[in-house]
Structure formats: structure tokens, C-alpha cells
Structure 1
Amino acid sequence: MESKKIYQTLEDRENPDQIEQEGPFPCSWNNSWLGTGHYFWDTFIENAHWWGKTRLDNKYVICEAHFNFCTTTCFDLVGKTEHMLDFERSIGLMKTKKLLNNKTTVARVLSYMQNTLKIFDYKAIRVYGVHSKSKDLQPNYQMKFELGKPQYLDYKPAIQICIYNFSGLSFKDFTIVYPYDYVSGYVV
């Protein structure tokens, strides 16, 4: 089990006390990538800033928290190959039942795994949204493997964690870390 630092980016509604008292907050957008849950950026605060700048028009708050990351409670599509294979097998089952088409999303497959197959009983999920950020973004945290070739290492990838159920995750220390004038003890 690993204690993991995560960041939630929220719209700045000039309510820092409410954020720290009532947060974290769930996302229930119709197009939520992983379904309804509490979305966080894994490890890299730069991704939380990127989201705030691009999706929240530079009016955002970042909160930091910690939780116990373990692949028995978190379905890890970033680092656990067995989970990737489970996901692939679920897609295969959906294909055989003609439930898969070019409009099927990750959230739909996860819902199928949870509600139909009954094999998804995880409290959280971890994914890497490939091509989430533009290659032209500066800084881009990408390093080519070979000059003149398109392949690269993204050393601060846009990894998200969506927490569906906090019980047993030892979630703690949810606190504002940006903007600095909302940070407890900040002096001008």
C-alpha cells in the first residue's frame, strides 16, 4: 500500500471555507470520463493547474489530499496489467453481445463491468488520458526517445484518479494549496 498525493481542481467561487469543510466534491457531468465520482490528478500538481487554466478559464482552486493507493481497492489502468486485461476481456464480451460500437466510451465499459458482469467492485480507478494535453503546451514534460521520430516519454502524464467510495482508503488532509491567498496561514 502506498500513500499517494492527489489534487482536485475546482471552480473558484470565492468559497474557500466551504471547500475545506465540505470537500472533496464529486463530478457528475454527463460526459464524465469514468462516471460519477470524485476526480483527482495523480501526483503532478502541474496537471491540476493545466485543468484549471484550460477548463475553468483560470478561475480555479486546487486542493491536495492523500489516500492509500492499493490495486485491491483501485482499478489501475496505468500500472496493473491484469486490470488492463480485465478491461480488454470486458470489451470482448460486449462485442460478442453486440453492445459495443464506435460511440462506446470508457465509462460505458466500466458500467458494464460493474452492473452487468459484477466484476468491478473497486472504490477507485486510475487512468492515463492519452492526448489529454496538447503537445504544444509549454512546458510539455515530454522528451523524445529518438530525434526525428514521433515517440516520446511523457514524464508528467495526465493521470487521473476517480474515487467512487472513500471507505477504507484512508483519505485525509484535504486542503487548499492554490490560490495562495486561500491557503491557511498565508500572509501578504
Structure 2
Amino acid sequence: MDRNYYHTQESREVKLSEPIICSKSNAWLGNGYYFWYYIDDAHKWGKTSKRKTGRYEIYKSKIEVNDKVLDTVFNEDHYNWWVGIIEQYAKKFIKKFNLKPTIADLNQYIKEKANIYEDIDAVQFQDFSTDSTESVIKPIQNLRNNKLQPFVYRKRIQIAVYNLEIISTFALDFEGQVD
């Protein structure tokens, strides 16, 4: 099944013909091409995280979500397998080093030892916003510390693509200014 996803970048003089790989050490799922499921999240990312040039662009892509896409958002079996891999690794790391692994540690392990990305074209996952302005529901008051917490009712979904061949289209969809 093909699905539309959105890739956000700083505005450039020369428009992109393909997505830019994210290779930062804190990338959730390691080196990959990151896309948003909802265009609203792509806009939010552009306005808050792509501020270098004062403008951002959103590229719309069709991505084939096939049996080589690990869908930890909507597929319960994929989700349970993924949680198991993470927890198994974290326990080994804690036992060996007596501290919790970082995202970079986790990604390095998965890449080198678990080798799961060899058989996976992409991972679809959910992150959680802590920004109460994103919710249309009034924040909940935490009774323990009296702080307000956002009511997170909507999934913020991304896909990290490792195989460019599953991307059939990639075209500029929006150009905008950072507020």
C-alpha cells in the first residue's frame, strides 16, 4: 500500500530531488530518511526545528508500506517485537555498564549486533509531544506535583526510511516562513 508522508527541511536555493538523510547521533532510529505521517506535524517541525534559514520546505512523498516496513504504530505484533528488542538490549547494556543506554547506543547495537535493518526498509513509530499548545483539550493537572500536563490524544507518527527504493515520488509541496 502506498501512503503519503512529508519530509521537512530548511529552505534551500536549489530544491531537493530526494530526501536528506538524518545522521545525527540522537536520531530516534539511527541514520535514515525521516518523514511525518501528518502534514500538521511537518509544519510544526519546520517552524520549531528548521530555523537556520528562516524558511522551511515540505516535500510530499509516496512511500510503499510493504511487509518490510516495521509498523510499531498500527501493527500490534510489530510493536511487541520492537519493544522486546529494545528491552532486551537495554537490560544487557545495564548489566554490562551499570547505566542506561542512550539512543545512540541503542541504534549502534541494532545496526551492528541485531542486524534488523538488513531486512527492514523502514520503521514507522510514534513520538510524544509534551507541548500543551498542540492539544485542543485543556491540560490535566498532575496531583503529585501540581504541574499541568498536556492531554496527548493524537499520535505524532514518523517513518524512518532506510531503503530509498520504497519512495516512489518526492516533490516540493510547501514553502513557508518560520514564525
Q: TM-score, normalised by structure 1?
A: 0.73
Judging by fraction of residues, say which structure has more helix.
2
The separation in 1 between residues aligned to 2:107 and 2:128, in whole angstroms, is 18
Q: Does the alignment pair 1:50 with 2:49? A: no
The answer (yes or no) to whether the contact 2:57–2:174 under 8 Å persists in 1 is yes
The answer (yes or no) to whether the contact 2:29–2:107 under 8 Å persists in 1 is yes
CA 28–96 in structure 1, closer or farther in 2 if over 3 Å, else same: closer
How many residues were matched structurally?
A: 164
Partner amino acid for 2:27?
S
Which of 86-95 and 5-14 deviates more? Answer: 86-95
The answer (yes or no) to whether the contact 2:132–2:150 under 8 Å persists in 1 is no
Partner amino acid for 1:86?
W
State the Cα distance separating 1:96 from its structure 2 match: 4.1
Aligned to 2:127: 129
Aligned to 1:3: 2
1:46-74 deviation per Cα after TM superposition (whole angstroms, max 9, x unaligned): 1111001001124111100101113x211
Identity over the aligned pairs, expressed in percent? Answer: 27
Q: Does the alignment pair 1:91 with 2:86? A: yes
The separation in 2 between residues aligned to 1:11 and 1:126, in whole angstroms, is 23
The answer (yes or no) to whether the contact 1:90–1:109 under 8 Å persists in 2 is no
Query: Structure 1: which 5+ residue stretches go unaligned?
Result: 181-188
Aligned to 2:24: 29
The separation in 1 between residues aligned to 2:175 and 2:150, in whole angstroms, is 35
Aligned to 1:183: none
The answer (yes or no) to whether the contact 1:142–1:154 under 8 Å persists in 2 is no
The answer (yes or no) to whether the contact 1:62–1:177 under 8 Å persists in 2 is yes
The answer (yes or no) to whether the contact 1:142–1:153 under 8 Å persists in 2 is no
State the Cα distance separating 1:123 from its structure 2 match: 0.7
Aligned to 2:145: none
Aligned to 2:56: 60
The separation in 1 between residues aligned to 2:25 and 2:106, in whole angstroms, is 15
State the Cα distance separating 1:79 from its structure 2 match: 1.3
State the Cα distance separating 1:143 from its structure 2 match: 4.5
Aligned to 2:113: 116
**Aligned counterpart in structure 2 of residue 77 of structure 1, from 69, 72, 80:** 72
RMSD, matched Cα: 2.7
Aligned to 2:169: 173
